[in-house]
Chain A
Amino acid sequence: MPVILATDLVVFFIVACVLYIAFKAYGDNYVSTIWKELKRRPLTLVSIFLLALYLSVATADSIRWRDSIKDPDGNDTISEAGKKLYSPKALSLLDRTLSGLRSNTEKSFSAPLATLQFTKETIELEGGTRVRDYPPLKYPSTHLFGTDKVGGDVFFAAVKGIRTGIVIGTGATIIMIPFAIFFGVMAGFFGGRVDDLIQYIYTTLSSIPGVLLIVAFMLIFGTEGYQGGLITDKDLIYGFFVPNDRLFWLCLILGITSWTGLCRLIRGETLKLRELEYVQAARAFGVPKLIIAYRHIVPNILHLALITFVLLFSDLVLAEAVLSYLGIGVGPETGSWGNMINTARLELSREPVVWWNLVAAFVFMFALVLPANIFADAIRDALDPRLRKGGK
C-alpha cells in the first residue's frame, strides 16, 4: 500500500523538472547553451554529479509503501470491517535497499568500523566469572560511521537526512516562487494602489526577523500532524496521502519568510520591462493587460526565479539544521542532520570523545551545501552575468 507525504510531491516535482531540463538540453536551444557554459568548469561538473547523487537518494527515500500485516500462516490480516491491515511503518525504497544497515543495531556506541563496543559492560564468561570489558559487536566492522547511543547505524541516519535536506532546500522556494512572481509582476506592471498594497505587505512581512516568525509559526502549527515515524490512520486521507506533514509546514513558513526578496527583485525588473518597446507595442495593439503580463513579462523574469532558487538552496539546508537544533525544525522522528547534531551535542564532552555522530552529520551536510553553492554561482554567471556584481 503506497504512502505519499505532502513533501514527497516536492521531491517528485524536482525530479520531473530536472528530467525535463535534461531532456531539453539535447538539441539547439537556450538550455543547451547554458549547459555548454556550465560544462566548461570541472568543479561545476563535479558539483552537478554530487547534487544528482543526493537527489537520487532523496527520491529513493520518497517512494514508500506499507506492507500488509501477515499472520503466522502468511495470509493477510483482515480487520473486522473487512479491510486489509497494514503495518504502521511506511518503509521507503531506500530503507528496503539498506535494510541491513537499518536493522543491524548494536546496544550502544561503537567507533567507526570497530569490532568491540565503545562502552564497557559486565560480561559473564563461560566459567561463570564476571568481568567488566568491552563486549564484541553483533555486526563487527560493518558500521562505516560507527553507531549512536542507542546502537543505530550512524551512516544510515546520515543518509536518511538527505531527503529532509533536499525537501527543505527546494520545497520552501517551490512553494513561494509562484506567489512571488504573481505579486511581483502585479506590483510592477499595474503600479498605483496595487503596487502600494503589495509593497506594504512585503515590507511588513520582511520586517519581522525570519527566525522569530518561524518560531511563532512552528510553535503554533508544527505540533500537530505527522511528525515522521509511524503512520496512524488519522494522518491518512484516501488511505495513502498524508497532507498534514510537519516538514511541509516548515517548508511553507520558510517560503513565507523568503519570498519577499524575490518579490522585490521581480517588481524592479517588471518596472524596467514595462517600458520596453515590445511591451509598448503589444499595448498599442490593444492586447489585454493580463495577457501582456503573462506572455511578455513573466517569461523574462523566470531566470530571476531560477537564480533565487539555487542561491537560497544552501541557506535553507543550513537553516534546517539550526532550526531542528532549536527544537522548532523537523519532528524528532524525522531523520535529519539537525536532529543528529541535537542528540549528539554533548558527546564531545564525553571522555573518551564520541565524535562520529557529529562528524557524519556535518560531512553529509557540507557535501550537499558546498556543491550547491558552487552550482548556484555557476548558474548565476551563466544566466545573468550582470548579477555577479550586485552582491551575494
Chain B
Amino acid sequence: MLNYIIRRILYAIPILIGVNLITALLFFYVNTPDDMARMMLGEKRLTPAAMENWKSEHGYNLPLFINTKEGGAGILTQTIFVQKSLPLLWLDFGKSDRNNLDIGEEIKKRMWPSLAIAIPTFLIAVTVNIFLSMIIAYFRGTYIDSWGILICVVMMSVSTLFYIIGSQYFFGKTLRLFPISGFDTGLSALKFLILPVIIGVLSSIGGSVRFYRTVFLEEINKDYIRTARAKGLSEGKVLFKHGLRNALIPILTNIVAVLPLLFMGSLLIENFFAIPGLGSFTIDAINSQDFAIVRSMVYLGALLYVLGLILTDISYTLVDPRIRLE
C-alpha cells in the first residue's frame, strides 16, 4: 500500500512541473514583466526608469530561463523561472505585486472562511443528493421518476447567478431571515453562513441527483439484487441495504476528487456574500490585475486537483477489494 502511494505521488511530480511551466510561460513569457510594470504604474507615471525600478523592486529584472550575464550555476538560477516560478513547487508563494502582501500568509488566513462554507455545503449537498436520487430510483418508471428527472433538468438549466441573486432577494430581503452578506469571527459567523450553504446545495441538486440516479439504476439491474429479491427481501431493504452500499463506490470516489478543492472556496458565492475567503481573494486579484496572486492560485488549484486524483485512486483500492494495487 505504502509503496503504491509513494509511486502515485512520484507520478504527480512531472505533472506539477508541467503546470509550473505553463504558468511561467503564460505569466512571464506571453505577458512580459514589462507589460506588468506598464499595467501597475499606469500611463501617467510611465517612464523607462520607473519601469526598471518597479521590475527590480519586485524581482522581475531577470531573464526568463537563461541568464547569460551570470557564470556557473547562475546561468540557470538567476532567472525569473527559478526565482519566481519554481518556488511554487515547495509552496513558497512570494509577495503580491500590488501591496507586497505575503501570499502564503494570506492563504493561511483566508482558507478558514472558505472552508467554513465549503465543508457544510459539501456534506449537506452529498447527503441530500444521495437521498433524493434514491427516492427517485425507488420510484423508477413511475410519474415520480419522470417528473423528478424533468425537475433536475430544469434545475440544471438555471444559472448559479440566479440561485444566488434570487435567494439573496427572497430569503435576505423579503423574508429578512438572514443577513444579505458579510462575515464575522467565531460563532457569530453562523448566521452569515446559512444562506451561502443553502445556495450551494440548491445549485448542485440538478446535476448530481441525475448522475447518482443513473449509478443506482445501473446497480439495481445487477444479479445480486435479483438474488436479494428472490430471497424475499422487501424492495426498500434491497435498495437501501444492498444497492446503496455498492452504488456508493463510484459516488464516493467521485466525491473524494473534489475534497481538496474545497480549500479554494467558491469564486461566485464568496464574491456575492463578501466572505473574506480564497475565492474573493482571487476575485480581488483579478480586479486589481495582481498576477502574482493569480499565478499562485492557479498553481495551488492544480496542486489540490492532483492531490484529489491521488486520493481517488487510494480510496478506490480501499473501498473495492477487487481493485489491485498495480
Q: Which residues of B in the span 252-281 have a Cβ within 8 Å of any Cβ on A?
A: 261, 264, 267-268, 271
Known A-B contacts A209-B305, A212-B301; the reply to A348 vs B15 at CB < 8 A is no
B261 A345 Cβ-Cβ under 8 A: no
Identity of the chain B residue whose Cβ is nearest the Cβ of A344 in the assembled complex: B165
B54-62, B80-88, B102-110, B156-164 - the one binding chain A: B156-164
Contacts of B31 in A (CB 8 A): 219-220
Q: Which residues of B contact A372 (CB under 8 A)?
A: 157
Q: Within the assembled complex, what's the spacing in Å between the Cα atoms of A348 and B298?
A: 33
Known contacts A204-B19, A207-B19, A208-B19; A327 and B286 CB within 8 A of each other: yes
User: Does B191 lie at the interface of the complex (its beta carbon under 8 Å from any beta carbon of A)?
Assistant: no
Q: Is the CB of A362 within 8 A of B162?
A: yes
Q: Check if A322 sits within 8 Å of B268, measured CB to CB.
A: yes
* Cα–Cα distance between A388 and B298 once the two chains are bound (Å): 34
Alpha-carbon distance A389/B219, docked complex (angstroms)? 10
B294 contact set on A, CB distance < 8 A = 212, 215-216, 219
Q: Contact at A369–B157, with CB atoms within 8 Å?
A: yes
A208 — nearest CB in chain B belongs to which residue? B302
Bound form: Cα–Cα A366–B286 in Å: 28
Question: In the complex the two chains form, is A365's CB within 8 Å of B214's CB?
Answer: no
A-B contact count (CB 8 A): 121
Instruction: Find A391's partner among B165, B169, B214, B301 (CB 8 Å cutoff).
Output: B214
Q: In the assembly, what is the distance between CA of A201 and CA of B301, in Å? A: 17
**Beta-carbon contact of B156 and A341 below 8 Å:** no
Contact B157 A366 (CB under 8 A): yes
- Within A154-205, which residues are at the interface with B (CB < 8 Å)? 200-201, 203-205
Which residues of the partner chain B approach A392 to less than 8 Å between Cβ atoms?
207, 210-211
With A216-B23, A216-B294, A349-B173 as given contacts, are A322 and B15 in contact (CB-CB < 8 Å)? Answer: no
Residues of A within 8 A of B27 (CB): 216, 220
Distance, CA A85 to CA B280, complexed state (A): 47
In the complex formed, the residue of B with least CB distance to A355 is B169
Size range of the chain B interface in the assembly:
35 or more
- Please give, as numbers and ranges, the residues of chain B lying within 8 Å of A220 by CB-CB distance: 26-27, 30-31
Contact assessment for B26 and A216 in the assembled complex, using a CB-CB cutoff below 8 Å: yes
Check: B297 CB closer than 8 A to any chain A CB. Answer: yes
For A339-375 the 0/1 string (1 means CB < 8 A from B) is: 0010001001100010000100010011001101110
Determine which of B153, B214, B306 lies in contact with A389 in the assembled complex, contact meaning CB atoms within 8 Å. Answer: B214
B122 within 8 A of A: no
Q: A326-B283, A374-B153 are in contact. Are A208 and B298 (CB under 8 A)?
A: yes
Supposing A209-B264, A389-B218 touch, asked if A216 and B157 sit within 8 A by C-beta, the answer is: no
**Chain B nearest CB: distance from A339 CB in Å?**
12
Interchain CB contact under 8 A, B211 and A322: no
Q: Convert B141-174 into 0s and 1s, putting 1 for each residue whose CB lies closer than 8 angstroms to a CB of A.
A: 0000000000001101111111001001100010
Does the CB pair A358–B165 fall under 8 Å? Answer: yes
Docked Cα-Cα span, A155 to B294, in Å, equals: 37
Question: Does A244 count as interface, using CB distance less than 8 angstroms?
Answer: no
Residues of B close to A349: CB separation below 8 A: 173, 180
Complex partner residue of B22 from A204, A215, A221, A373, CB under 8 angstroms: A204
B18 is contacted by which of A204, A325, A369, A374 (Cβ under 8 Å)? A204
Closest-CB distance, B300 to chain A (whole angstroms): 9
Q: Give the residues in chain B near A345, CB-CB below 8 Å.
A: 165
0/1 string, B12-23, CB within 8 A of A gives 1: 001100110011
The closest CB in chain B to the CB of A345 belongs to: B165
Bound CA span A388–B210, Å: 11
The CA of A330 and the CA of B215, in the complex, are separated in Å by 37
- Considering the complex, give the chain A residue whose CB is closest to the CB of B308: A207
B289 at the interface (CB under 8 A from A): yes
Q: How far is the CA of A219 from the CA of B282 in the complex (A)?
A: 13
**B112: Cβ under 8 A from any A Cβ:** no
Q: B289 contacts which chain A residues (CB < 8 A)?
A: 219
Q: Which of these, A204, A348, A377, contacts B169 with CB under 8 Å?
A: A348
Instruction: Give chain B residues whose Cβ lies under 8 Å from the Cβ of A219.
Output: 31, 286, 289, 291, 294
- When distances are taken between beta carbons in the complex, the residues of chain B under 8 Å from A209 are 261, 264, 298, 301-302, 305
For A314, give its contact among B14, B157, B309 (CB under 8 Å).
Answer: B157
Residues of B within 8 A of A370 (CB): 153-154, 157
Q: Give Cα A23–Cα B161 distance, bound, in whole angstroms.
A: 39
Cα of A203 to Cα of B30 in the assembled complex, Å: 22
Task: Select one of A201, A207, A326, A328 contacting B306, CB under 8 A.
Answer: A207
Chain B 292-316 residues near chain A, CB threshold 8 A = 294-295, 297-298, 301-302, 305-306, 309
Tell me how far the C-beta of A42 lies from the nearest C-beta in chain B, rounded to whole angstroms.
13
Q: In the complex, A205→B25 CA distance in Å? A: 13
Taking the complex as formed, is A51 at the interface, i.e. its CB lies under 8 A from any CB of chain B?
no
Report the separation of the CA atoms of residues A314 and B159 in the bound assembly, to the nearest whole angstrom: 10
B18 and A200 form a contact (CB under 8 A): yes
Q: Could you list which residues of chain A lie within 8 angstroms of chain B, going by C-beta atoms?
A: 200-201, 203-205, 207-209, 211-213, 215-217, 219-221, 314, 318, 321-322, 325-328, 338, 341, 345, 348-349, 353, 358, 362, 365-366, 369-370, 372-374, 377, 388-392
Q: Chain B residues in contact with chain A, CB under 8 A?
A: 14-15, 18-19, 22-23, 26-27, 30-31, 153-154, 156-162, 165, 168-169, 173, 180, 207, 210-211, 214-215, 217-218, 261, 264, 267-268, 271, 282-283, 286-287, 289, 291, 294-295, 297-298, 301-302, 305-306, 309
Sample 14 A-B pairs with CB under 8 A, ordered by A number.
A200-B18, A207-B309, A208-B301, A215-B282, A216-B27, A216-B294, A318-B160, A325-B161, A326-B283, A366-B158, A369-B157, A369-B159, A372-B157, A373-B153
| 8 closest Cβ pairs, A-B complex | A204-B18, A209-B301, A370-B157, A369-B157, A220-B31, A212-B298, A207-B305, A207-B302
20 further A-B pairs in the complex, CB-CB below 8 A; given A327-B287, A366-B158: A201-B18, A204-B18, A207-B305, A208-B305, A209-B261, A212-B282, A220-B26, A221-B30, A321-B161, A322-B268, A326-B267, A326-B268, A326-B271, A327-B286, A341-B161, A362-B159, A366-B157, A369-B159, A370-B157, A392-B207
